């Protein structure tokens, strides 16, 4: 019974709609129908009253899922790298060049006094140098005891102690070199006397012979120097042959000195004294050099046979 009024109202509404429709159709050509410009929304398109609208969730690209953390490779290119990978932050073990040295390494200014640079030579020791020089002098003095003119031997050779350095070969070469220099000086002096004039017949003959003899001595001493300076110790046979030649030449030079003075045996003059002063010095140096050469030859031969 309650449904009858609702049905009556529905029928009345239909009748009113049928009555209005013909009159409104005439104006449809002049103005568009509201339904054509704005169609009615269908109930299916309207949100259901029982389901309230909820805001749509943000895009997944803007909000990472809580269950899946972002990895560095999934970050967009514009995003900065993590702070642990930033090139501006050095690794923990890095030490800046301007940072101070560790406390275990002392700075150069605080090095101990005993430190010395590997390239800097050690300071010379005066006591060691003095001891070495005294040793060289003692060696020369001991060697000169074997000569006839010991004082002349020591005074002439001691200035060269640092070059001889207790070496028998260098000692013999030095003695022979001093003898050669003295022989050359004597030869020049005697030649000047012969060219000076004012000599007697005997003096002129003796001076001329002496110039020749001293000249031969210079040649013999030069040959001895050349051989003695380059003698080979390893070949004992060759060493003995060279030393034999040197001894022969130095002996010949000593004989030439004596022959020079023999020419003045019957002359008593100032010329004889002047010549004798130079020739005797050469003869004594030659005698000492020969003694040292003989010592060197015998010492080296004993070392070779031992």
pLDDT digits (tens, 9 = 90+) for 182-220: 999 999 999 999 887 788 889 999 999 999 999 999 999
Question: In which band, very low, low, confident or very high, does the pLDDT at 305 lie, cut at 50, 70 and 90?
Answer: low
What is the three-class DSSP state of 12?
Answer: helix
Question: For residues 142 and 53, what is the distance between their CA atoms, to the nearest angstrom?
Answer: 128
168: pLDDT strictly greater than 50:
yes
pLDDT digits (tens, 9 = 90+) for 101-156: 444 444 444 444 444 444 545 545 567 677 778 889 999 999 999 999 999 999 99
**Range scoring the smallest mean pLDDT among 1-10, 107-116, 189-198, 291-300:** 107-116
Per-residue model confidence (pLDDT) at position 62? 38
pLDDT digits (tens, 9 = 90+) for 81-107: 444 444 444 444 444 444 444 444 444
Angle between helices 168-196 and 270-305 (to 10 degrees): 160
Contacts of 146 (CB under 8 A, 6+ apart): 291, 292, 295
88 class by beta-carbon count within 10 Å (0-12 exposed, 13-18 middle, 19+ buried): exposed
What is the pLDDT of the chain when averaged over all its residues?
A: 74
Residues 261-268: what's their mean pLDDT? Answer: 88
65: pLDDT strictly greater than 50:
no
Query: For the chain, how big is the Rg over CA atoms in Å?
Result: 64
Q: Are 164 and 140 in contact (CB under 8 A)?
A: yes
CB burial string 106-118: b at 16+ within 10 A, e below: eeeeeeeeeeeee
Phi, psi (5° rounding) for residue 59? -60, 150
pLDDT digits (tens, 9 = 90+) for 28-46: 443 444 344 433 334 443 3
143 class by beta-carbon count within 10 Å (0-12 exposed, 13-18 middle, 19+ buried): buried
Residues 4-20: what's their mean pLDDT? Answer: 74
């Amino acid at each position: 019974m309650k449904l009858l009024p609702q049905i009556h109202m529905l029928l009345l509404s239909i009748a009113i709609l049928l009555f209005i429709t013909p009159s409104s159709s005439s104006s449809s050509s002049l103005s568009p129908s509201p339904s054509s410009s704005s169609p009615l929304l269908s109930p299916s398109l309207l949100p259901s009253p029982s389901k309230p609208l909820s805001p749509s969730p943000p895009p997944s690209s803007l909000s990472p899922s809580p269950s899946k953390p972002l990895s560095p490779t999934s970050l967009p290119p514009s995003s900065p790298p993590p702070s642990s990978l930033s090139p501006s932050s050095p690794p923990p073990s890095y030490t800046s060049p301007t940072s101070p040295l560790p406390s275990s390494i002392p700075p150069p200014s605080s090095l101990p006094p005993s430190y010395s640079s590997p390239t800097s030579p050690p300071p010379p020791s005066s006591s060691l140098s003095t001891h070495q020089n005294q040793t060289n002098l003692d060696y020369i003095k001991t060697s000169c005891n074997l000569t006839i003119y010991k004082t002349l031997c020591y005074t002439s050779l001691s200035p060269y102690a640092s070059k001889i350095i207790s070496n028998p070969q260098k000692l013999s070469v030095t003695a022979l070199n001093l003898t050669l220099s003295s022989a050359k000086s004597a030869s020049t002096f005697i030649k000047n006397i012969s060219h000076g004039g004012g000599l007697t017949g005997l003096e002129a003959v003796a001076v001329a012979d002496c110039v020749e003899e001293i000249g031969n001595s210079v040649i013999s001493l030069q040959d001895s120097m050349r051989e003695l300076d380059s003698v080979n110790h390893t070949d004992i046979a060759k060493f003995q042959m060279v030393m034999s030649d040197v001894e022969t030449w130095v002996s010949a030079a000593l004989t030439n000195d004596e022959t020079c003075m023999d020419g003045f045996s019957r002359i008593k003059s100032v010329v004889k004294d002047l010549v004798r002063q130079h020739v005797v010095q050469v003869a004594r140096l030659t005698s000492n050099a020969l003694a040292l050469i003989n010592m060197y030859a015998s010492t080296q031969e004993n070392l070779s046979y031992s």
